[in-house]
Chain A
Amino acid sequence: MATALNALFEILSFTSIMVLIVLGLGIIASMMGIFNFAHGEFVLLGAYFTWLGHAHGAPVWLAMALAPFAVGLIGFVLERLVIRRFYDRPVMAMLGTYALAVVIRETVRGLIGGLYLNVPAPLVGSLSLGGLEFAQWRLAIIAITLLVILCSWTLLAMTSFGLRVRASLENPALARASGISTKAIYAITFTFGAALAGLAGALVVPIFSLFADLGLRFLIQGFLGVMLGGVGSFVGPILGAGVVGSASAALPWVISPVVADVLVFVAAIGVMKLLPNGILAGRRV
C-alpha cells in the first residue's frame, strides 16, 4: 500500500513536470503550426535566468517569477527577427528553430562552463504523511501545473483574445479580413509559449539542477507527447504529455528501466498508427 501510494506520487510528480514542459510547445505547435525545436532551450533559459538571479543574491522565488518574463521577451524578439519568416514554411521552421536551439544551448554551456549547478527550491523538505515522505517542492509543482493549465485554457477558450488566436490559426485570411492583426496575434502567442517554457524551466531547475542539455532531455519526449495527443488543440498535447510522462515514470516500477525507455516509444508509435491524428484529433481548444 505504502509503495503504491509512493509510486502514485512519483508518477504524478513526473507527469506534471512533463505536462508543464510540453504546454508551451503544444500551444505554439497547435496555435501557430510551428514545431519549435528551440522549445527545450527556452526551458533551459528559464532555468538559467533562475540560477543567474539567485547567484546574484535574489531570493529564488523572485528569480523564478521573473524568469518567464525574461524568456518571453527573448521569445518575442526571436519571433520578430526569425520565426515570422517561417510561418508558411514548416520544414524550414524546424531547421531554423533547431539552429536557434544550438546557438542558445552552446551559449549557455559557455556561460556556465559546461558544469552542473545546483539551484535551491523555494520550499525545502518533505511532508510526512503516514510514514511516507512527499517532497514539498514536487507537491508545489503539481499544484502550479494544474493552475497554469487552468489559466491557459481559460485564456484560450473563454476570452475574446483566445477566440482571435484560434481564428488566426484556422483561417488566417478570413481573420485578417475580419480586422484581426494575425501578425500581432502570432507574436503574442509565440511570446506566451516561450514564457510558459521559461516558467517550466524555472520551476524544474531545483529538481534537475542547471546544465546545458536540460532542455534537450525533454524535447524528444515532448514532441512525442504533442504527436500522441494531436496537434491543433490545446488539450491534445497536454493529454499526450500526460500519457508519455506517466508511462515513462510508471514503467520502471515494473520492468527494467532500459526496456521501459524503449517501450514508451514503441507504445506511442503503436497508438499513432491506430490514431494517426492523435488521441484528440479534430477537436478545437
Chain B
Amino acid sequence: MSAAVATGTGSWVIPGRTAHAAEPIRVGIATDLTGAIGFAGNSDLNVAKMCADIINKGGGLLGRPVQLYVEDTASNEAVAVGNVRKLIQRDHVDVVLGGITSSMRNAIKGTIVSRGHTLYIYPQLYEGQECEEYIYCTGPTPAQQCDDLIPWLITHGGKRFALPSANYIWPHLLNAYARKSVEKHGGEVIFEEYYPLDQIDYGATVNRIMSDKVDVVFNTVIPPGVGPFFKQLYEAGFLKRGGRLCCVYYDENDLNINASHEIEGLASCLDYFRAVDALDPASARIQQMYDGMFAGNKYLMAAGSAATGMYRGMMLWAAAVKEAGRLDRDAVAHALDHAKIAEGPGGPAEMVPGKRHCRMRMYIATAKNGQFQIEAKSNGLVDPQEC
C-alpha cells in the first residue's frame, strides 16, 4: 500500500506507485471515513486503494498512474459539501467516486456534476430514480434486490408479508417496488408501517406481526432499531413458529448486531457475499487480495457498505478511460455508458447503455449460525430497470 500524504483537514493524497514519470490521473474519493457510517466509508476507501493498486500494477491508464485524492464526508452533508468542493476546485480530479446515503449523494452531486463539470460514480445500493446525466450508479436497485427474492420468499416463507420500515426515502421506494412484486406473485402485504429512525422499541410492531400471522417480515428498519426489533421478534417466538426474516441491506457486518440464533434463516439479496467465493474464483481472488492488503483491518469488503459498488465503479471507469483514450468528461462518459468488466466481487458487470445503471449478478443468501450461506444465484446479470 502506498503511503498517504495529508493535504489539509480530512484530506489525503495516496500517490500511485509505478515506473512512470508521467503526470498522474487524479481520482477523487469522497466517502464517510468518520461519523455514524464510518465503518462503511473505510471499507470503500480500502477498496478504492486496492483498485488503484491493481490499475497501477497493470501499467496505469493511458500510460499514466492513478492517484487517489481522498476527502472525508464525515457522515455529515454540511461538512461534505465543503470537502468535496476541495476535490473539484483545488485538486481538479478527473472523476469522483463515493457517497453512501442518498442524502449524501443529493448533497454533493451538484458540486461535482453541474458546478464542477466532473463525472460522479455512486456505489451504494439505493432506492433508484437517480437519472441525472454524468451520474453513474454501480450499486443494486430495488428491481435487482427484489425480482428474484420476493418469489423465493413466498416459496420459502409464505404469502403474508409485513413491511416494517424506517421513515426515509429508501424504504418508501423499495417497499413500493416490493409490494407490487409480492402482489404479482400471489402474496399479500398485511401491513406497511414507518417508524422514526431512532426508534428502538418495537413491542407494538412485534405484537401485530404475531397476532396477524405474518409469514415474512420484509424489514427496512435500520440500525440502531433493527437489532432490538429482531431480538423482540425472536423473543415473541416468530422464528419458532416458522416465520422468515428478510433484510436486503444485510451483509457480513450486520450479522454481529444480534446473536446468531436470533436471526437464523434471515434472507438477504445482494451482489456479493463472502460465501460467493466458493462459486466464483474471481471473487475469491479479489477477496484474498483485499484480506492481504488490509490484514488486521476491521473494515470488511461487504456489499451493504458499498464496497463492491466501489470496485465496479473504479474498474468500469478505468475501462471507459482506456476505451476513450483521453480524460475529457464527455469522451469518458460516452465510453462508460456501455463499459463492461469481466470480473468483480460477485461476478462480471456492465453498464446498461443510456441508463447509467449497472447490470450485475445477484445472490440470495440466508444467515446460518452467524454466516451467510448462498441459497440461489441469478440467471446471468440482472437488469436494474432504472431511468
Contact = CB atoms under 8 A, between A and B. Distances in A.
The number of chain A residues touching the other chain, given as a range, is 35 or more
B222 to A, nearest CB: 10
A14 B201 contact: yes
B235 A213 contact: no
Interface in B224-239: 224, 227-228, 231-232, 235-237
Interface in A194-218: 207-209, 211-214, 217
Given A116-B223, A118-B256, A10 B203 contact: yes
Contacts of A11: 203
A261 B253 CA distance: 29
A276 interface: no
Contacts, number: 100
Contacts of B253: 115
Interface string B158-191: 0000000001000000000000000000000000
Nearest to B297: A113
A6 B235 CA distance: 12
A170 interface: no
Interface in B188-240: 193-196, 198-201, 203-205, 207, 211, 223-224, 227-228, 231-232, 235-237
Given A115-B39, A257-B199, A211 B223 contact: yes
A117 interface: yes
B54 interface: no
B115 interface: no
Secondary structure at chain A's binding surface: helix, strand, loop or mixed?
helix
B10 to A, nearest CB: 14
Given A213-B36, A257-B194, A257-B196, A252 B205 contact: yes
Nearest to B207: A6
The number of chain B residues touching the other chain, given as a range, is 35 or more
B203 A207 contact: no
Given A120-B259, A257-B199, A208 B228 contact: yes
A10 B39 contact: no
B256 A116 contact: yes
Interface string A23-46: 000000000000000000000000
A188 to B, nearest CB: 32
B40 to A, nearest CB: 8
B204 A109 contact: no
Contact of A209 (B194, B204, B211, B227): B227
B363 interface: no
A258 B228 CA distance: 18
Contact of A7 (B34, B167, B207): B207
Interface string B32-47: 0010111100100000
Given A113-B299, A208-B227, A214-B224, A7 B200 contact: no
Contacts of A83: none
Shortest 6 CB-CB contacts between residues of A and residues of B: A10-B203, A114-B39, A209-B227, A135-B235, A113-B298, A116-B257
